[in-house]
């Protein structure tokens, strides 16, 4: 696997990079042609800060944000994103405010939930949703459903990588898209062209990494 990886730099900021490997991979809901490794962005303070600076741009003068709900290990990026949104400036809407960074729990039933002490930070608050990557948008849809249940008001969706540009009328603002990855494809598991051609899976992947088969 390691020999397959190549580096892609963001068009918005060349200091923001991710590692990509071509192959045949299975997620919990789809099969995809490329594994995207953004562990450096999720764990390095300097990389996360550069990513957050770019992700903050669309919201600086357009949205009041009370809380960032982070998914898939994006807590460090989300914390720097909150800091960027709070920086002083003539058109910055969040200057002098407080922004919370919280993460839901994935319950045994497959639903996202918030602990009691976190629910008050969601109810009737302006929420920015932060995800690591989105291929089909299933995780985003589940998260949006969760926010609606707890009374949060969604003001934006941000991702490091997204194969979808919008979901249910919401623009998914991302650092990387399919245009950055040559021949990126994703399929419903039952409709995977690579499976139909008899190509075996290289690995099972999730937001934490991959397991070779």
Predicted TM-score (pTM) of the model is: 0.91
The whole-angstrom separation of Cα 51 and Cα 17 is: 9
Exposure pattern of 109-122 as b/e (b: 16+ CB <10 Å)?
A: eeebebeeebeebb
Asked if residues 133 and 105 have their Cβ atoms less than 8 Å apart, the reply is no
The whole-angstrom separation of Cα 110 and Cα 130 is: 19
Q: Kindly list the domain boundaries of the chain, sorted by start residue.
A: 2-212
Fold of the CATH domain 2-212: Rossmann fold (3.40.50)
The whole-angstrom separation of Cα 100 and Cα 37 is: 26
Asked if residues 120 and 86 have their Cβ atoms less than 8 Å apart, the reply is no
pLDDT in tens, the chain (213 residues): 667 899 999 988 999 999 999 999 999 889 999 999 999 999 999 999 999 999 999 988 878 899 999 999 999 999 999 999 988 876 667 777 899 999 999 887 878 999 999 999 999 999 999 999 988 888 999 999 999 999 999 999 999 999 999 988 899 999 999 999 989 999 998 999 999 999 999 999 988 889 998
Q: Give the 3-state secondary structure of residue 43.
A: helix
């Amino acid at each position: 696997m390691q020999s397959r990886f190549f580096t892609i730099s963001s068009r918005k900021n060349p200091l923001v990079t991710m590692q990509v490997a071509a192959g045949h991979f299975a997620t919990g809901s789809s099969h995809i042609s490329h594994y995207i490794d953004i562990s450096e962005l999720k764990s390095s303070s300097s990389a996360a800060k550069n990513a957050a600076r770019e992700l903050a741009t669309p919201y600086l003068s357009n949205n009041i944000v009370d809380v960032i709900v982070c998914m898939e290990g994006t807590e460090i990026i989300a914390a720097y994103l909150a800091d960027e949104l709070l920086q002083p400036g003539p058109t910055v809407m969040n200057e002098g405010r407080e922004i919370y960074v919280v993460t839901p729990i994935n319950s045994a039933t497959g639903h996202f939930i918030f602990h009691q002490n976190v629910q008050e930070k969601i109810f009737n608050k302006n929420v920015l949703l932060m995800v690591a990557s989105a291929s089909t948008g299933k995780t985003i849809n589940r998260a949006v459903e969760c926010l609606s249940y707890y009374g949060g008001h969604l003001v934006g969706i941000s991702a490091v990588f997204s194969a979808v540009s919008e979901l249910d009328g919401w623009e998914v603002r991302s650092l990387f898209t399919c245009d950055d990855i040559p021949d990126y494809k994703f399929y419903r598991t039952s409709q995977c062209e690579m499976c139909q051609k008899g190509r075996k899976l290289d690995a099972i992947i999730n937001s934490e990494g991959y397991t070779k088969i």
